[in-house]
Structure 1
Amino acid sequence: MKKLLTSVIAASLSVSAVAHDMVPGAAQSQPVLLQGGTLHTVTQGVLPNTDLLFDQGKIVAIGSQLEVPANARVIDVSGKSVFPGIIALDTTLGLIELESVRATNDMREIGKITPEVSGHTAYNPDSEVIPTIRYNGITHAQIVPQGNLIAGRSSLLQTDGWTFEDAAETLNVGVHVNWPRASLNTSWWERRSPEEQRKANAEELKLLKQAFIDAKAYADAKKANVLQGMDVRWEAMLGLFDGSSKLFVHAHDKRQLEQAMEFASEWGFELVLVGARDAWRIADQIAANDVQVIYGEPYGLPTRHDEPYDQAYAVPALLAEAGVDFAIAYSTGFWDIRNLGFAAGNASAFGLDKDQALAAVTIKPAEIMGVADKVGSLEVGKQASLVVSDGDILDHLGQKVRWMFIDGAEVDLNNRHNQLYQKYRQKP
């Protein structure tokens, strides 16, 4: 009993110790003029020695030697680069803090069919991880529930805010499905026979398809005004049938990707393939079906013995060559998504055009999430969600973020890692 009590107290102390002490930025109260920087607009090319003015949270002017408004804050960014904020897709940011402490893990719900789960409701805006990923230029993150056959819905949140409500960019964008296995598990820990595995895979696929049949029957009944009661599961899936939500399918194997595309085509869903390690194998087919891809394996070893060592790094270039509409992500990451910009830079080193690499972590994620009219590029009228860096934000050696603004509010770039770095610099 004493040991149990000690463990509970230790876990409680761990949870209470993981809240960061950075105060969210105050709403913009005066115009801000960034003078003389190199603007990486994403949609309108690179503009050297150019000014950018934003006010009331939005970009109001871009040009050379802009007139300084009254009461404006002027920041000299000459010699520095200005980028739109990086958007991290398919993350568990704010849903988990310490992998070894169960009380800090709220990534998944119990059960296989839980479309009613919304990732943002469990989001912890005080997570110590959040300031560390902001430090590398990430202004937005898609929060995705994990684990189940139908896991729930995702939302895009800003990485600075008191609550998920004031951090919300867009909520409940789409339903996330973890596609059943289409192959046999040959790992040493697998105890089931091949026949048992095939049967289990078929049952999972049957269960998934039946859930969509039930959801469609519910949607039809609601449209006809003959419902006998409300089911929160099928309510959460209504957007798939009226076109207001996307279907995000998490899958890697070529056979899974093909099955998912056939399924989405049959139902008329707007499909996004997530993870998609084998997407390069059927890139032409993906492009022909106008399917979007969130490529979530920018690093890693080859999947098969006959693949080259750099297969994971070269996939973005292969997708671009085939005309696939894609973004780059760190699938199901949280602390490691700080390296997302560098993953895009690495992809450019393995054949992806550099402009496309930047687009893959800015405007392309914004398009997938349906907010490209607000974020993802530096354009007049868009939100002032941007970063100023000493160098290329995709270069882990050259970049150093000096300022970050989200909706015009300046973000505190301090973080736990920096605090520890400064502390131990002073150690004799």
Structure 2
Amino acid sequence: MKKLIYTIVFIGSFFLGTAQQTPAGPQLEAISIDGATAHLGNGKVIENALIMFEGGKLTFVGSAMTKIARRGTVIKGDGKHVYPGFIAPNKSLGLVEVDAVRATNDQDEIGEMIPHVRSLIAYNAESQVVESMRPNGVLLGQITPKGGRISGTSSIVQFDAWNWEDAAIKVDDGIHMNWPTNFRKGRWWMGEPRGFLPNKEYAKQLEGVKHFFKNAAAYDNVGNSELNPAFAAMQGLFDGSKKLFINANDEKEIIDAITTAKENGIKDIVLVGGYHAYKVTDFLKKNNIPVLLQHTQSLPVFDDEDYDLPYKLPKLLTDAGILVALQNGDAANFQTRNLPFYAGQVVAQGLEKEKALQLITGNSAKILGIDDAYGTLEIGKSATLIISKGDALDMKGNKLTHAFIDGRNISLETHQTELWKRYMGKYDGK
């Protein structure tokens, strides 16, 4: 018993002793960034740019040669690059701190069909993992529940806040579901052959989803004595106030998922994963379906596929006219900080660098429905941006000097940077 108590006290003191940096206060003075190269997030670049913002909003984005008075604090941007803050969709950031410590894992609730479970109220704004996103320029995220068939409802937050109320920028934006797989991996421990086997339960699972959709569409709480929370949460999918994010990868899964959702009156659908989406691009274009692709740094799933298929998928879909953004998929939360480098990797596959940038800025904002305020550097939008010494899509160049969320100059210090400085001093003296 004493050992258990000591362990709990140690874990608690560890987290308390390494708390997140204090969130920045509101922007009180205008800021002008003069002379940097501005990457707007919509495919455009302004060399020798002038960017000014006040009250958390961009007030000028244009050439530094424009005869206009610089306002407030002036940041010299010579040789530097300015980008919109990067956006991380479909992640359980702030819901899991340490995978091996069950008490810090709040990403999955009990049940298969639980659209009414809201991730936002469980979001930990003081997460060290969330804090570690900022030095690489990842400033916004869609906090997404995991597990089950219908996992729950996500919300979109900014990564510098006191609590989840302060963090939220779009509440209950979408419902996330995992479509039944047409194939599954063989369970070798049960004597099944290794590799992929047909999922004999697929038809039954598909019928279960259709039944739930139909009941949710028919649900009307008027006159009912008891509220059905799951069906009530689904109503936003039918009136267009929420998006349905469907995780599906195989061609049949993709077609079945989108067709079933459309037939049941669901208006706004986003495909998540989409590993074989390049095989059904005409279908996706016809139904106006955007795709949140898995990150690029992964191996092909099947032996007969191109070795570089995961690397070039974003370009294949972009060239086909599909709206594409990148998400970190099933990789660990902490790896989300590598989001800009996943985008940079697509450049090596032939995609223009500014289009690659859109995969984590402008395109992400459009898919998540926050492009009215975030994702690009345009007058009137939120001053959520970063300043880097070099190319932010390259590990060598991604060295931030400043980061702003809604005009607030946020800290770039984390537990990792503190350790880096501590041990750099130790070994530099050797």
Equivalent residue for 1:156?
Answer: 156
Any idea what the Cα deviations from partners look like across 1:2-36, whole Å, max 9, x if unmatched?
5554554455445545x533011110001101111
Deviation at 1:348, TM superposition (A): 1.3
Contact map agreement 1:246 1:272 (CA 8 A) in 2: yes
Equivalent residue for 1:67?
Answer: 68
Equivalent residue for 1:230?
Answer: 227
Partners in 1 of 2:280 and 2:253 — Cα distance? 11
Partners in 2 of 1:190 and 1:178 — Cα distance? 24
Partners in 2 of 1:134 and 1:62 — Cα distance? 23
Equivalent residue for 2:22?
Answer: 23
Partners in 2 of 1:216 and 1:372 — Cα distance? 29
Deviation at 1:205, TM superposition (A): 2.4
Question: 2:214 aligned with 1:213, yes or no?
Answer: yes
Deviation at 1:208, TM superposition (A): 2.1
Question: 2:259 aligned with 1:262, yes or no?
Answer: yes
Letter in 2 for 1:216: A
Any idea what the Cα deviations from partners look like across 1:350-390, whole Å, max 9, x if unmatched?
12222211111001111111110101001000010000011
Partners in 1 of 2:2 and 2:198 — Cα distance? 44
Partners in 2 of 1:410 and 1:35 — Cα distance? 16
Contact map agreement 1:178 1:249 (CA 8 A) in 2: yes
Any idea what the Cα deviations from partners look like across 1:267-298, whole Å, max 9, x if unmatched?
23221011111212222321222111000231
Any idea what the Cα deviations from partners look like across 1:17-76, whole Å, max 9, x if unmatched?
5x5330111100011011111111123611111111100000011232453356x11111
Partners in 2 of 1:318 and 1:189 — Cα distance? 38
Unmatched segments (≥5 aa) in structure 1:
none
Letter in 2 for 1:106: D
Contact map agreement 2:143 2:154 (CA 8 A) in 1: yes
Equivalent residue for 1:253?
Answer: 250
Letter in 1 for 2:240: G
Letter in 1 for 2:252: R
Any idea what the Cα deviations from partners look like across 1:314-357, whole Å, max 9, x if unmatched?
10110011111111111144210100001001011112222211
Partners in 2 of 1:184 and 1:157 — Cα distance? 34
- Relative to 1, partners in 2 of residues 1:8 and 1:390: Cα closer, same or farther, differing over 3 Å? closer
Deviation at 1:308, TM superposition (A): 1.5
Superposed, 1:324-343 pairs within 5 Å as 324-332=322-330, 333-343=332-342
Deviation at 1:232, TM superposition (A): 1.4
- TM-score, normalization by structure 2: 0.93
Q: Which moved more, 1:296-305 or 1:402-411?
A: 296-305
- TM-score, normalization by structure 1: 0.93
Letter in 1 for 2:95: L
Contact map agreement 2:29 2:54 (CA 8 A) in 1: yes
- Relative to 1, partners in 2 of residues 1:248 and 1:350: Cα closer, same or farther, differing over 3 Å? same
Question: 2:381 aligned with 1:349, yes or no?
Answer: no
Letter in 2 for 1:26: G
Task: Tell me how large the CA RMSD over aligned residues is.
Answer: 2.1
Partners in 2 of 1:164 and 1:55 — Cα distance? 25
Equivalent residue for 2:113?
Answer: 113
Equivalent residue for 1:369?
Answer: 368
Indicate the SS of the match to 2:272.
strand
Q: Which moved more, 1:181-190 or 1:41-50?
A: 181-190
Contact map agreement 1:51 1:66 (CA 8 A) in 2: no
Deviation at 1:213, TM superposition (A): 1.8
Q: Which moved more, 1:310-319 or 1:250-259?
A: 250-259
Q: Choose which of 284, 295, 300 in structure 2 pairs with 1:286.
A: 284
Q: Choose which of 305, 308, 311 in structure 2 pairs with 1:310.
A: 308
Partners in 1 of 2:6 and 2:22 — Cα distance? 32
Q: Give the aligned length.
A: 421
Superposed, 1:91-240 pairs within 5 Å as 91-189=91-189, 198-218=199-219, 221-222=220-221, 225-240=222-237
Question: 2:297 aligned with 1:299, yes or no?
Answer: yes
Q: Which moved more, 1:174-183 or 1:5-14?
A: 5-14
Partners in 1 of 2:141 and 2:356 — Cα distance? 18
Contact map agreement 2:43 2:354 (CA 8 A) in 1: no
Any idea what the Cα deviations from partners look like across 1:364-423, whole Å, max 9, x if unmatched?
111111110101001000010000011111111122111000000001000111111111
